[in-house]
Structure 1
Amino acid sequence: MSLKRFLLVRLGRLLTYPVRRKLRHFETACHDPEAVQTALLFHILRKQAGTGFGRDHGFAEIRTVADYRRSVPIAPYERVAPYIERVQKGELNALLADRAVRLFALTSGTTASRKLIPVTDDYLAAYRRGWNMWGVRMYRDHRGRRIAMRPIIQLGGDPEEYRTPAGIPCGNLSGYTAMVQRRLIRRMYAVPYQAGKIKDATARYYVALRFALGRDVSQHAAANPSTLVQLARTLDAEKDHLLRDLQNGTLRSDIDLSPEIRAELTRGLKPNPVRARELAAVAAKMGRLYPMDVWPTEGTIINTWTGGSMGPYLRQLPRYYGEPPVRDLGLLASEGRMTIPFANHTASGVLDIWSHYFEFVPEAEIDSPQPTVLGAHELLLGRSYYILPTTLYGLYRYHISDLVRVTGFYGQTPEVEFLGKGHRFANLTGEKLSEYHVTRAVDAAAARVPQPLTAYTLAPVWDDVRPYYALFLEEPDAGAALPAFLAELDRALGEENVEYASKREGNRLGPVRAALLPAGAWAAWDRARLASTGGSAEQYKHPCLIGDLSFRASMPVTREVGA
């Protein structure tokens, strides 16, 4: 080990000592989740009792967990949305006892509007603590790969898309945290945070690779593995331009960047002809340039989601990255971190009982008017539940629609894995498309292009190059206007769901296609579904969205039609 490497490792040990001690305390706390969770709940209620939401729901009179459940109903974002609108205008006490909101983290919602999650100092403290414990555990488990204190490739988003009437920035949380990192920590990331401000997806990938090629990267990090697949494909497709820029210390002039971002990015660029020649020789020999050709597999690790619908993308990673260890990032969203994975190649993670108070509803009861509600200490191995977090920043018994399964226990604290967004969502690449989005988009498209729709369902279809969504229709509905209708539907889906539009723009999703079925197929399918699920024909609702990737294989598709 070189002297420089030795000193960096020692510095890393010194900097992470407080986190390592905190991790030990967390592991101890996992032996009594009921006590930890109850204490956290009442800390939240005491702190927020004087807020508008707290007064409206009688927080000051709540004495037991049962009281809390009676006072606050299970509900999605729409219940807190009016309070958040008041916070946006500067009335923080409508929802929060905090002195400031640092950011509204933007996320795609189950309605047409995007959700705004208030990021407070409490939020940031929990967010950083969870990431730090995840990171220390991950580094500890991979000492032999010598990844500590080596650069990371991670793409963030735009930390400020716009501001509220009170001047609070609204944007991407990962982009914001990258922007406010201490300079020493920021140097550990190969991609400058300014890259998150780039709107064009191809340009964003190119810039990330341009800055990473000259660094000794140890980790490839992205929430969704589709990002890593697209990054790898861009590296190979743009290798000639990238190596020329690396050699000359430039950033190609024809990529779509604003003058301000280009000036910020190019300020620190320097020529690296030695590295450029080295990689050019590798590309000439291999006839390609993939991440595993640039950063040897034995010295890297992949950090990405592995649960839910990520399987098809994960299966593509070895082609580009080899087979380094894969560590799941945990169940996390703009709404907060839910789990901390402690092992490789699994979506399971220990419930983050320090950050949020958690309740769970058994999968079969989620639509019941009076479902069974359980605490973290009451879960059973192998069972599936919807998770309901209560947070220190204004989300109470929040129905995020995440379905999880209990895979084990760490001490007495459950380990859970993410299964998906329930039966009302589809999520191929992070778009989190809801049935609400689909029905509104179909109505809008039909208003622009008249199209017969005897019955329809939208469902994801896997394709190794570009997965897409298919609109399942019967053959008699396939008239001359169908291609134009599909083009309008694709556009309308992007209008309803900004994440869908982003994934389409970034070429991670292909355009909507029609999958045509024989006449009468939907009536037969609905009869069979009603017979299997029970209930009355009067209450039955034909699903307009099915998130199952295997759905197409189960249907008698005669042909497909594109826009």
Structure 2
Amino acid sequence: MNARWAYIQLQSLIVKRMMANNARSREIQQRVLQKKIQICADSRFGRDHGLRSIRSVADFRRQIPITDFEYLRPYMDEVRNGNPRAMFGPQTRLLMFAMTSGTTEKPKLIPVTDDFVKSYKRGWKIWGLKAHIDHMDLARKDYVHLAGDWQESRTESGVWCGSISGLAAETRPPVVRRPFIVPPQVGKIGDWTSRQYTTLRLSLPSRRVGMIITANPLTLISLAKLADQHKETLLRDLRDGTITMPADGNISLNPSLKKRIRPVNKRRCDELEQIVERTGHLLPRDFWPELSLVGVWMGGSVGAFVPDVRKLYGSCAFRDHGLSASEGRMTIPMQDESNAGLLDYTSNFYEFIPVAEFGNDDPTILEAHELEEGQSYYILLTNSGGLFRYNIHDVVECVGFEGQTPLLTFLHKGVHCSNMTGEKLTEYQVATAVREAFVDSNRSVETVMLVPVMASVPRYMLLIESQADQGVERLAEAIDTRLSNLNCEYENRLKTKRLLPIMPKTIPTGTWRRLRDKKIADRGGTQEQYKHTFLGSSDAILGELGVGPIASGR
């Protein structure tokens, strides 16, 4: 404890420095921008866009348009195929690609460079240090971090692709690594249920777990329910020093994990059995009585599940995970029970577009210090992975300032995108999947809508006017298959049971016509200008259409 607390006290100077520098974050943002430009200045992208000539933010905006991944894809494809110089200068090391879904049929591979990882880790270090400063008891407790696998696949040129959280976990320094009792190798277990069972098997021996960290609250709900569902097997495994995977098929652990599967001391086993005898359940609120802090997303649509997490994990504090994505960390929450985070102004360069002007030919572009409290914005991100003025389609609200640095809360993904569990489904993907599924089913394409439905396990509802047609079940399955092919994160959420399969729902003939007429009457325009959306923005449309609720299971 003394060594760990001494390390925390020494490193906490980073937090104090950041808080002191909030008053001059505009100046620091200028330096960050110049560094990002230097990283790519001697690349093909840099030459094509005249990066060497950029001296100011105004120059930057003249030289580079607002981008999306399709704009950058020609350069990124070259990097993926073994030519990092297409995007980066000779001093930059490419470590891996972070995998995420794209806005077209092709997934995105975000380059992760040495400077990218340095920035990513620094943001997490500040988050963790501030959490320890506010919860000093954490210095004597264990932690559970649910990280992904950074080595899921390789590109044609041999570079690993996966989750940056896995790389960060594997490369923690020893003094930081010791309290984390679930090793990063667990993230490499392909079967989701087996991965979560292994997490429980390795963390249940400790009653001194003080902090658990993962992005999505649905992951924590799933972990708690799995513990309760398999309580008898878990208790037997703990006593016998075994591990009995609940998934179908044989899941073999790598040797380093097998060494950790040992019998647990009798006192702890007795304690867990007494919990089950007393409560009839095996839940985190009881088996981790010293839990102090849960780090998880608290904003956006998934924030609706935080109350369920509280019921399962007890009366500990909650701290938002922060606005982060494969493209980079954007905010660092600095206090409990709030989904507001301080803009991570040392890691990336940020620009903002007011929501009301998004989509205009010449929208107002603001720097971070120019935001207004109470207003909502789209973020443009410039990072160390080759993303310049990148529209990440995240909408945030400015809820205050620390000096020149805004405090932001995540509201939702932007237009034409749905993101209940991290699947980041786009209008383009849905329209493509629907069209192809109709063709696969030998049906004429008709108007449908996929609507996100938040429930204990979310899913999408397929609204279709076809009446008394048993083929709609097969059509829904075909759309699921096509969406899985188009969007790797949607496929992952289905496989890991964080999303249920699409539920078809027939609606009265003429529904779409009435919806069209109403929208034209409300918004103006003509019949020819009206465009039906294949992806509903929220389940509020169900009430508008008079569609009743659906069952939580299939």
What is the TM-score with the length of structure 1 in the denominator?
Answer: 0.93
Select which of 93, 118, 123 maps to 2:116.
123
1:305 pairs with 2:297: yes
Q: CA deviation at 1:547?
A: 2.8
Change (3 A) 1:239 1:137: same
1:373 pairs with 2:368: no
Assess if the C-alpha contact under 8 Å between 2:340 and 2:407 holds in 1.
yes
In structure 2, distance between residues paired with 1:559 and 1:396: 43
Select which of 299, 316, 333 maps to 1:341.
333
Q: CA deviation at 1:271?
A: 0.8
Partner of 1:4: none
Partner of 2:230: 238
Partner of 2:312: 320
Select which of 156, 180, 200 maps to 1:209.
200
In structure 2, distance between residues paired with 1:25 and 1:184: 22
Q: CA deviation at 1:87?
A: 1.6
Partner of 1:468: 459
Alignment of 1:265-280 (within 5 A): 265-272=257-264, 273-280=266-273
Which secondary structure state, in structure 1, belongs to the residue aligned with residue 415 of structure 2? helix
How many residues matched? 550
In structure 1, distance between residues paired with 2:394 and 2:61: 20
1:187 pairs with 2:185: no
Partner of 1:509: 499
Assess if the C-alpha contact under 8 Å between 1:339 and 1:349 holds in 2.
yes
Gaps of 5+ in 1: 1-7
Select which of 519, 529, 554 maps to 1:539.
529
Identify which range, 58-67 or 551-560, moves more after superposition: 551-560
Assess if the C-alpha contact under 8 Å between 2:99 and 2:108 holds in 1.
yes
In structure 1, distance between residues paired with 2:252 and 2:225: 27
Change (3 A) 1:86 1:204: same
In structure 1, distance between residues paired with 2:251 and 2:281: 32
In structure 1, distance between residues paired with 2:22 and 2:160: 36
Change (3 A) 1:560 1:29: closer
Q: CA deviation at 1:238?
A: 0.6
Q: CA deviation at 1:142?
A: 2.1
Assess if the C-alpha contact under 8 Å between 2:39 and 2:92 holds in 1.
no
Assess if the C-alpha contact under 8 Å between 1:194 and 1:261 holds in 2.
no
1:54 pairs with 2:46: yes
Identify which range, 506-515 or 301-310, moves more after superposition: 506-515
Assess if the C-alpha contact under 8 Å between 1:518 and 1:558 holds in 2.
no
Assess if the C-alpha contact under 8 Å between 1:308 and 1:420 holds in 2.
yes
1:555 pairs with 2:545: yes
Q: CA deviation at 1:331?
A: 0.5
Partner of 1:394: 386
Q: CA deviation at 1:398?
A: 0.5
1:500 pairs with 2:490: yes
In structure 1, distance between residues paired with 2:131 and 2:549: 47
Q: Which amino acid in structure 1 is aligned with residue 130 of structure 2?
A: R
Which secondary structure state, in structure 2, belongs to the residue aligned with residue 373 of structure 1? coil
In structure 2, distance between residues paired with 1:24 and 1:124: 22
Q: CA deviation at 1:149?
A: 4.2
Assess if the C-alpha contact under 8 Å between 2:145 and 2:213 holds in 1.
yes
1:484 pairs with 2:474: yes
Measured against aligned partners, the alpha-carbon deviations of 1:32-73 in whole angstroms (never above 9, x if no partner) come to 222111222123223422111111001112222112111101
In structure 1, distance between residues paired with 2:249 and 2:54: 54
Measured against aligned partners, the alpha-carbon deviations of 1:104-146 in whole angstroms (never above 9, x if no partner) come to 1111222222211111111111111111111111111223xx1
Measured against aligned partners, the alpha-carbon deviations of 1:420-470 in whole angstroms (never above 9, x if no partner) come to 111211111111111122111111211121345542211111222x22100
Which secondary structure state, in structure 1, belongs to the residue aligned with residue 161 of structure 2? strand
Partner of 1:196: 187
CA RMSD, Structure 1 to Structure 2 (Å): 2.0
Which secondary structure state, in structure 2, belongs to the residue aligned with residue 60 of structure 1? helix
Which secondary structure state, in structure 1, belongs to the residue aligned with residue 407 of structure 2? strand
Partner of 2:163: 172
Q: CA deviation at 1:526?
A: 2.0
Change (3 A) 1:15 1:425: same
Which secondary structure state, in structure 2, belongs to the residue aligned with residue 310 of structure 1? helix
1:113 pairs with 2:101: no
Assess if the C-alpha contact under 8 Å between 2:26 and 2:404 holds in 1.
no
Select which of 4, 22, 28 maps to 1:12.
4
Identify which range, 315-324 or 253-262, moves more after superposition: 253-262
Change (3 A) 1:311 1:559: closer
Which secondary structure state, in structure 2, belongs to the residue aligned with residue 132 of structure 1? helix
Which secondary structure state, in structure 1, belongs to the residue aligned with residue 362 of structure 2? coil
Change (3 A) 1:184 1:19: closer
Q: Which amino acid in structure 2 is aligned with residue 129 of structure 1?
A: R
In structure 2, distance between residues paired with 1:209 and 1:559: 34
Select which of 422, 429, 435 maps to 1:437.
429
Assess if the C-alpha contact under 8 Å between 1:203 and 1:257 holds in 2.
no
Measured against aligned partners, the alpha-carbon deviations of 1:368-390 in whole angstroms (never above 9, x if no partner) come to 12111111111111111100011
In structure 2, distance between residues paired with 1:558 and 1:129: 47
In structure 2, distance between residues paired with 1:43 and 1:560: 51
What is the TM-score with the length of structure 2 in the denominator?
Answer: 0.95
Change (3 A) 1:149 1:58: farther
